[in-house]
């Protein structure tokens, strides 16, 4: 009979325990969890703080009692593994309720310690009104604060998923929110240009967004918590939520002599085995292989953690399961907006040395003649050598998850642009278009790879050579509402009759609102001998990005004025 000790519950550990029991009814399974909750909806915690989820029990997926009843697992909450002896195959455990220390031997050990919120060593970080969000206990503490003390202004440090979700939930409660992001854009896995869509939307929702702004410390001044910003500015507030990312919880593994990799994460093979015999590791604390780049990566996500728990369990029970890698598929709700991504960003692809280009679409969520259609901004990255899809980022209000999931599946299957064009996807007017946005991305990449059109991008337009002619083929009304300075304006439907107005021998940068009509114009002009480039994403995308670059990102907040 195998004795299996699992350190940590939640996604990876709990999945492993349940899978082992389904495969081996005779195994002795002990699961240790230092918090008071063994399996809980970690991703739902911000929504409990904001009151969207109202019942405490909805956060807990399993209790120690339910786990024992269904899976016959000895779950010990408030019990922390404090040492591992891999030679003796023994775990030292501290009962946090009694202070007692004891040991358990194991035949197989699974480490699922997760990751802890990063708390940078800044002055004043020990202030009780600086919060992080990881456990159910953290959630109850923060919920008690926002409901009991009715804060007026909270500073959220970090523009990742947790930071954005907390900002939304606090703002919905009527609390003024200032968001500080050290980088030039929110959502680190996104590229700057696609994040600009999110920046603009956050501002419409009253979030005071401060990009390229770092907190350097905290203090108490005139009875209020004060955030000290780089450069000397100060912000007074009632509380700070630190959401600057997570750090693998690998102290135990390090002290046990296990091999560590990226950012101190536990190195595992494709069977989830560590460098120590009979010791496995899963979840947010492990280093994985990025499915697209092949590089070591740290991708703390619930989906891969669950799969890894299952794979570790399979191998312990004699099944040859492997974890091929993770592509970082993720999604976030920001008020009514959805932002999703999968695979590599453009920045990550270039860092990995992969030859790449991208297309931008602004596509409706379903047939425009059916009521309720909204547009999505889509960026799809592809390998210029073989046409394989490398990554995608989508921002919109409806249908974002569906398209990102299709593209995630396409990336895992190694599909090319030609494959996207051929995909047969479900269509009816309330759900999609006959040419789904995923198909359209494939068509666009095909056109580029086949040499039917050349494209340029917003950054090419910003830094264009002086002798380039900018041609705007939108309608008179669109042009009047805003245009690129110095652009020549000829609507596409008048272009054939006015081609003689275009200067011969000049390179043309052609654009419309989204890139579709300008593609038609480029096909027309190229067959008349003109050297033309279509502006990817059109004037709309160019305008969003250039406005963001010039935006005043230091709004004075009624509750966040410098003190």
Which residues form the catalytic set? 43
* Strand, coil or helix: 53: coil
Residue 524 sits at φ, ψ, to 5 deg, of -65, -50
Q: Is 472 exposed, middle or buried (0-12, 13-18, 19+ CB in 10 A)?
A: buried
- Angle (nearest 5°) at CA 135 between 130 and 141: 50
Tokens of 69: 């009843």
3-state secondary structure 505-534: CCEEEEECCCCHHHHHHHHHHHCCCCEEEE
Write the CB contacts of 393 (distance below 8 Å, at least 6 apart in sequence): 190, 191, 194, 339, 340, 341, 345, 378, 379
Write the CB contacts of 559 (distance below 8 Å, at least 6 apart in sequence): 152, 153, 176, 236, 237
3-state secondary structure 435-447: CCHHHHHHHHHHH
Nearest to 26 by CA among 49, 6, 3: 3
d(CA 329, CA 352): 18
The helix (H) or strand (E) run that includes residue 138 is helix 136-148
d(CA 191, CA 139): 30
């Amino acid at each position: 009979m195998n004795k299996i000790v699992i350190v940590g519950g939640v996604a990876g550990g709990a999945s492993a325990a349940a899978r082992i029991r389904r495969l081996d009814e005779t195994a002795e399974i002990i699961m240790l969890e230092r918090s008071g909750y063994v399996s809980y909806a970690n991703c739902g915690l911000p929504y409990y703080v904001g009151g969207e989820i109202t019942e405490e029990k909805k956060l807990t997926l399993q209790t120690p009692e339910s786990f024992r009843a269904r899976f016959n697992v000895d779950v010990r909450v408030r019990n922390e593994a404090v040492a591992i002896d891999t030679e003796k195959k023994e775990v030292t455990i501290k009962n946090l309720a009694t202070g007692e220390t004891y040991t358990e031997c194991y035949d197989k050990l699974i480490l699922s310690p997760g990751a802890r919120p990063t708390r940078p060593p800044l002055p004043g970080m020990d202030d009780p009104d600086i919060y992080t969000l990881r456990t159910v206990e953290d959630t109850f503490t923060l919920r008690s604060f926002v409901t009991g003390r009715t804060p007026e202004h909270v500073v959220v440090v970090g523009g990742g998923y947790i930071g954005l979700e907390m900002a939304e939930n606090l703002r919905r409660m009527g609390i003024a929110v200032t968001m500080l992001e050290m980088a030039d854009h929110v959502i680190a896995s996104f590229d700057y240009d696609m994040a600009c869509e999110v920046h603009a939307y956050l501002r419409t929702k009253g979030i005071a967004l401060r990009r390229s702004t770092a907190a350097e410390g905290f203090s108490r001044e005139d009875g209020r918590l004060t955030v000290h910003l780089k450069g000397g500015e100060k912000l007074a507030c009632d509380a700070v939520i630190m959401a600057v990312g997570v750090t693998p919880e690998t102290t135990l593994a390090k002290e046990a002599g296990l091999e560590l990799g990226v950012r101190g994460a536990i190195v595992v093979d494709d069977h989830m085995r560590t460098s120590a015999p009979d010791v496995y590791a899963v979840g947010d604390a492990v280093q994985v292989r990025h499915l697209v780049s092949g590089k070591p990566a740290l991708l703390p996500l619930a989906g891969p953690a669950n799969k890894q728990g299952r794979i570790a369990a399979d191998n312990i029970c004699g099944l040859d399961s492997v974890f091929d890698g993770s592509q970082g598929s993720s999604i976030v709700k920001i008020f009514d907006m959805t932002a999703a991504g999968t695979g590599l960003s453009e920045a990550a692809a270039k860092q990995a040395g992969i030859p790449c280009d991208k297309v931008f679409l602004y596509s409706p969520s379903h047939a425009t003649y059916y009521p309720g259609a909204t547009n999505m901004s889509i960026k799809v990255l592809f390998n210029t050598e073989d046409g394989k899809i490398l990554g995608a980022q989508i921002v919109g209000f409806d249908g974002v998850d569906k398209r990102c999931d299709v593209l995630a599946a396409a990336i895992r299957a190694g599909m090319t642009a030609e494959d996207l064009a051929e995909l047969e996807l479900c269509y009816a007017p309330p759900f999609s278009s006959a040419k789904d946005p995923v198909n359209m991305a494939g068509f666009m990449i095909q056109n580029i790879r086949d040499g039917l059109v050349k494209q340029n991008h917003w950054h090419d337009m910003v830094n264009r050579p002086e002798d380039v002619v900018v041609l705007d083929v939108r309608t008179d009304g669109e042009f009047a509402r805003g245009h690129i300075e110095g652009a020549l304006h000829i609507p596409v439907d008048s272009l054939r009759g006015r081609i003689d107005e275009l200067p011969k021998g000049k390179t043309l940068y052609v654009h419309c609102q989204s890139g579709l009509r300008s593609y038609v114009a480029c096909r027309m002009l190229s067959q008349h001998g003109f050297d033309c480039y279509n502006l990817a994403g059109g004037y709309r995308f160019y305008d969003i990005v250039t406005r963001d670059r010039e935006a005043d990102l230091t709004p004075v907040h009624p509750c966040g004025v410098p003190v």
